[in-house]
Chain A
């Protein structure tokens, strides 16, 4: 049987998360690489040393980006369960994220002018998932009554009503002017003065590993993302997960086969909102201070975009999509700076680059001093690219990045034959 990767002799083998040895090895190596990232920076191993590797990843702005990526992955895994597996289009993800964030704030933040109970993290983090899940269960009956595009707009209404609530519940959210601060990543048993350990502070592990605060938060978020991704993958393989997919593919047929539509949709909403709440709480805690207007429609759209760009209904695709959407602005920015460099050097390349980028008053598609000359600022350019990517993926590759990966894999599987 060895060496015939597509031959499965048991149901277990067919359902395995990593069916081949190669996949297990690749995933393990990749996870080890992810764990090693913070230690690429000089001075992290011993007093001078570092692990060999791409050390720009360990710089503090990249580390922040990777933390955001982890948090967005968690949120996207949630929307993937609801929209990707169960087929219920929801634009209300931002609402549930806000709910999670403010639950965390009320339970975890120190008491002061705004509500806060100062409870430890092991209470506020799970609660940040459970409260949105309960609210999700309340919303779910609407999804049974209202279908398809109507549901999309109902959940859109949820975001607007939520935004209004957050603006006006200023004893919880701090209002639009100042926002509020969120509990930081500190671990306490109960309400002690000094935390048992604090993820935000730098420390030394095993006597020779110097880890910065961001590095510790990164490792924490990475672990959480990995666990939640595994859970999401396993949900897909259970009876409930198959019920989700049957509802997505044909709800009438699913009901005929004995799938309880009401129950299934309720579970889907609960799971999705749980993930959203956790992601919201982590995001708010990581940023530290947010205003109510941050939890708006574009945030919801971003999650739908992640799922669509990555590949609907797949965990791998969702993670790929999150990486793509979160890292894209940074890549565009770096690319712009690269072009600026080319322009400054002059020569024939600069002539080609000139119509694309403008640093002063002349015309350029991207304008680094926005507002002065015609052309889009970097932020606007990013938005346009992002919009075009959503369109492009849906038109040309409905399976998303995951579909592209499948095609590459299948090509090499049969190489040198074309089929």
Chain B
């Protein structure tokens, strides 16, 4: 169960600063995506979703199994180019992941509407155990490659040999951030979500379908988790594929969301990149120091989180609970 998140630098032959930069961007975008998934669920439903890592692994596994085991949809389109069938498989996997998220919400979270936040958080811990155990059982002992169309191809930018996914992940994160902010602050649904998070009963009295809000939030959350899981299995660990430790990786996103504040989308992205930067820095510059021992980059996020929390107890962007005595 060790958080072996030490990322291999993508760039070969580059300076250590360059390696750190690439690590920072790749890790940061994944943490940001994971954190955004957490935050959308928390912001709409006040549920802290411990099952997020399991959902990420599930999403990656769905892609691996659709692409290489079931050969969907490639078996019906033998002449189509490889990238097309792969993208279609990913889209199918994302839809399935979102549906699973909705189903989990309907079965386990909906009955807990109105209960204490802590109790619901522990329910998601139970969901995490169930989903993770079953997913890992399906994954098996070996890691499963996702069979992406880029293969070993790299982009040469100056000194760097970049994995194309690094760039795609940045774009996805940016698009995701813009869409989520637009959703929360510019759409009717977003207002309904914020109202639901504020007070479920009052929201209901205003004619908001609280159940539907829960459902949609979990669908989006599970979808983002799956996206993060897919990226996670694609590049930071040199295309290792999805394995039994993938689900565990998402725990490192907890410091990211706490850092940014549990209920802030912008905070999630800032927190994600901050944690990514800290970890990349530790990987590049602090690993050789014998005093720190091994595995130090793995706990840097938590140390950063503790430091920030002692100064700002609700994170950098989180909304403060006002209490006066």
Interface residues of A, Cβ cutoff 8 Å to B? 89, 142, 145-150, 152-154, 156-157, 160-161, 163-164, 167-168, 176, 251-252, 255-256, 293, 296-298, 301, 304-305, 308, 371, 376-377, 380, 383-384, 386-391, 394-395, 398
Contact = CB atoms under 8 A, between A and B. Distances in A.
Interface in B242-275: 251, 254-255, 258, 262
A305 B126 CA distance: 9
Interface string B298-316: 1100110110011001110
Most chain B CB within 10 A, of A296, A301, A371, is at A301
Most chain B CB within 10 A, of A145, A296, A298, is at A145
Contacts of B126: 387-391, 394
B108 A395 contact: yes
Contacts of B76: none
Nearest to A298: B1
B258 A161 contact: no
Contact of B302 (A150, A157, A251, A389): A157
Given A150-B309, A384-B129, A390-B125, 6 more contacts: A149-B118, A160-B299, A161-B303, A164-B299, A383-B129, A386-B129
A150 B314 contact: yes
B262 A398 contact: no
A164 B4 CA distance: 11
B117 A149 contact: yes
18 contacts: A142-B309, A142-B310, A146-B309, A147-B321, A150-B313, A153-B258, A153-B305, A154-B258, A160-B302, A161-B299, A293-B1, A297-B1, A301-B129, A308-B119, A383-B129, A383-B130, A386-B129, A387-B128
Contacts of A167: 2, 293-295
Given A384-B134, A390-B123, A146 B325 contact: no
A152 B48 contact: yes
Given A376-B137, A387-B129, A252 B325 contact: yes
Closest 7 CB pairs of A and B: A168-B293, A387-B129, A390-B126, A157-B302, A387-B130, A391-B126, A383-B133
A394 B313 contact: no
Contacts of A304: 122, 125
Interface residues of B, number: 51
Contacts of A163: 1-3
A377 B137 contact: yes
B313 A384 contact: no
B301 to A, nearest CB: 8
A403 B314 CA distance: 35
A384 B134 CA distance: 8
Contact of A390 (B2, B122, B310): B122
B323 A394 contact: no
Contacts of A371: 140-141
Chain A interface mostly helix, strand, loop or mixed? helix
B325 A154 contact: no
A156 B251 contact: yes
B127 interface: yes
A304 to B, nearest CB: 6
Contact of A149 (B130, B262, B305, B325): B262
A44 B320 CA distance: 64
Contact of A156 (B108, B111, B141, B254): B254
Nearest to B248: A297
Contacts of A149: 48, 117-118, 121, 262
A256 B325 contact: yes
B112 interface: yes
B123 A384 contact: no
A387 B50 CA distance: 12
Interface in B90-135: 108, 111-112, 115, 117-119, 121-123, 125-130, 133-134
Given A152-B48, A163-B2, A146 B313 contact: yes
Contacts of B129: 301, 383-384, 386-387, 390
A376 B133 contact: yes
Contacts of B122: 304-305, 308, 390, 394
